[in-house]
């Protein structure tokens, strides 16, 4: 298996290598979108608005816990791929063991700090008197299970970093399938409502974590969970932190941006919020597919950065062409049947018209969003910590003033278009930084000879 992974890293045709790394990730991220929709659907069958409100209110907490997992997972994962390119296999074992145990420790810290502060946390999430009890139940279970949730997101990245893309995908799909099965059981058989849904999420992440840990401990020649390989050296900490922290900050910024955007949108009534909610949910499918593509190729770019920069350049070029092709294909579909897509969620003509308009506008930035994600992935893979940090904050920093100005100048239309403007600004900044860093990323003579 490991020989096969090295084949895709080193010798497979670029298109075949990109497909090997990206397609499983694209399928895995698509499954997560389907799960998020089904999760709300199952809870919605209980016809209790307070429960759905609790589910929505706890999203920022889940995003923070997930971000902590990605901090270690993406920071450690890109470092592992670079080390594999340099054939430093002992260091790979040190980093993988560090990622495993540090994730558990961070999860235990979150649990220890969070549980005594549950009531302030629930109030901070915006729970109303009706939803307070349900929100508290969810938060309590998520805090108790945070070590396993953080571990899941860490290990998914670590396993993918060694080239085991199919194993990474299988773990993601296993988590989704277990979660859906448990949702059905806890809601319809055990009648556990919100606390049951939270328990299902924790257990599904635990099951997938065990799956990944088994692979690392018994199947992989490169990775390990053995405590004897644990090492928290300055080199490991600096490489994990300089890439992981920007990823964490980006996740926090995205959550904050969503809250701020909704505050502006609510001025134009419930229909505006509902229309955006529907269109953004539809936009998630192509966005997550492009995200899966760009995140999937990060290990290949990281490995090639230290092993063969010419191959890295070819990988990036092929990925850009794929982003263009997918964005055009999705765009044509949306512009032809946008009314029918919105109509799947509502039969209100005004809501369909407003949702279709938002979908048309936001889809304009699909290519830009894909490219921005790729830029971020390139900076992560090549250990450009400062550039990765700038990419993590630029969209949020841009969106807030653009929202304010666009809202004052053009009302509802300005608010909707502000997303495209912020995406375009992030794209330009990423492109400029990539140009500035081009000498570091250029193929050297040794690569050209190879």
Which residue do the tokens 């971020």 mark?
Answer: 376
Which residue do the tokens 């606390």 mark?
Answer: 195
What is the C-alpha separation between 306 and 441, in angstroms, rounded? Answer: 10
Taking phi over 0 as left and psi of -120 to 50 as alpha, with beta for the rest, 443 belongs to beta
What is the C-alpha separation between 178 and 74, in angstroms, rounded? Answer: 24
Q: Tens digits of per-residue pLDDT, 252-304?
A: 777 677 667 777 877 887 677 777 777 777 787 888 889 889 988 999 999 99
Which pLDDT score, from 0 to 100, does residue 263 have?
A: 72
What is the C-alpha separation between 364 and 328, in angstroms, rounded? Answer: 10
Which pLDDT score, from 0 to 100, does residue 374 have?
A: 93
* Domain coordinates in residue numbering, the chain: 1-232, 233-450
Which pLDDT score, from 0 to 100, does residue 3 have?
A: 64
Which pLDDT score, from 0 to 100, does residue 255 have?
A: 67
Which pLDDT score, from 0 to 100, does residue 259 have?
A: 67
Which pLDDT score, from 0 to 100, does residue 1 have?
A: 42
Q: Note the Cα 281 to chain centre separation in Å.
A: 15
At residue 37, φ and ψ (nearest 5 deg) are -70, -45
Which pLDDT score, from 0 to 100, does residue 68 have?
A: 93
**Which residues, given as ranges, of the chain have pLDDT below 70?**
1-3, 37, 40, 255, 258-259, 270, 345-346, 443-450
Which pLDDT score, from 0 to 100, does residue 208 have?
A: 96
CA neighbours closer than 13 Å in the CB half-sphere of residue 320: 10
CA neighbours closer than 13 Å in the CB half-sphere of residue 238: 6
Which pLDDT score, from 0 to 100, does residue 249 have?
A: 83
Which pLDDT score, from 0 to 100, does residue 50 have?
A: 77
């Amino acid at each position: 298996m490991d020989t096969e992974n090295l084949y895709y890293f080193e010798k497979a045709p670029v298109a075949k290598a990109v497909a090997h790394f990206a397609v499983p990730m694209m399928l895995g991220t698509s499954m997560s979108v389907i799960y998020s929709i089904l999760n709300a659907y199952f809870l919605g069958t209980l016809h209790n608005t307070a429960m759905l409100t609790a589910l929505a209110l706890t999203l920022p907490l889940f995003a923070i816990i997930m971000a902590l997992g990605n901090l270690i997972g993406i920071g450690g994962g890109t470092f592992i791929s670079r080390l594999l390119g340099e054939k430093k296999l002992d260091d790979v074992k040190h980093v993988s063991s560090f990622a495993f145990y540090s994730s558990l420790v961070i999860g235990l810290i979150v649990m220890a700090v969070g549980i005594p502060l549950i009531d302030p946390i629930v109030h901070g999430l915006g729970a109303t008197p009706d939803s307070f009890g349900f929100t508290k139940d969810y938060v309590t279970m998520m805090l108790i299970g945070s070590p396993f949730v953080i571990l899941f997101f860490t290990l998914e990245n670590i396993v993918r970093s060694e080239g085991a893309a199919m194993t990474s995908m299988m773990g993601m799909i296993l988590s989704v399938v277990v979660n859906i099965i448990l949702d059905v059981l806890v809601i319809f058989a055990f009648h556990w409502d919100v606390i049951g849904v939270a328990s299902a999420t924790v257990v599904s992440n635990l099951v997938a974590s065990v799956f990944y840990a088994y692979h690392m401990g018994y199947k992989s020649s490169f990775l390990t969970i053995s405590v004897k390989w644990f090492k928290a050296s300055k080199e490991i900490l600096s490489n994990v932190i300089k890439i992981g922290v920007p990823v964490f900050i980006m996740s926090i910024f995205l959550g904050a941006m969503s809250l701020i955007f909704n505050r502006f949108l609510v001025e134009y009534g419930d229909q505006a919020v509902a229309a955006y909610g529907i269109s953004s949910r539809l936009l998630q499918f192509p966005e997550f597919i492009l995200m899966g593509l760009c995140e999937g190729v990060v290990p290949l770019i990281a490995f090639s950065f230290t092993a063969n920069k010419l191959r890295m350049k070819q990988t990036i070029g092929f990925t850009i062409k794929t982003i263009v092709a997918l964005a055009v294909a999705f765009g044509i579909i949306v512009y032809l049947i946008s009314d029918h897509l919105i109509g799947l969620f509502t039969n209100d003509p005004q809501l369909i018209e407003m949702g279709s308009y938002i979908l048309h506008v936001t889809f304009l930035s699909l290519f830009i969003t894909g490219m921005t994600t790729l830029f971020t992935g390139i900076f992560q893979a090549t250990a450009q910590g400062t550039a990765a940090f700038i990419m993590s904050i630029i969209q949020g920093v841009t969106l807030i003033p653009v929202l304010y100005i666009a809202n004052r100048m053009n009302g509802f239309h300005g608010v909707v278009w502000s997303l495209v403007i912020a995406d375009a600004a992030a794209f330009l900044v990423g492109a400029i930084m990539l140009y500035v860093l081009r000498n570091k990323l250029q193929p050297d003579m040794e690569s050209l000879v190879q």
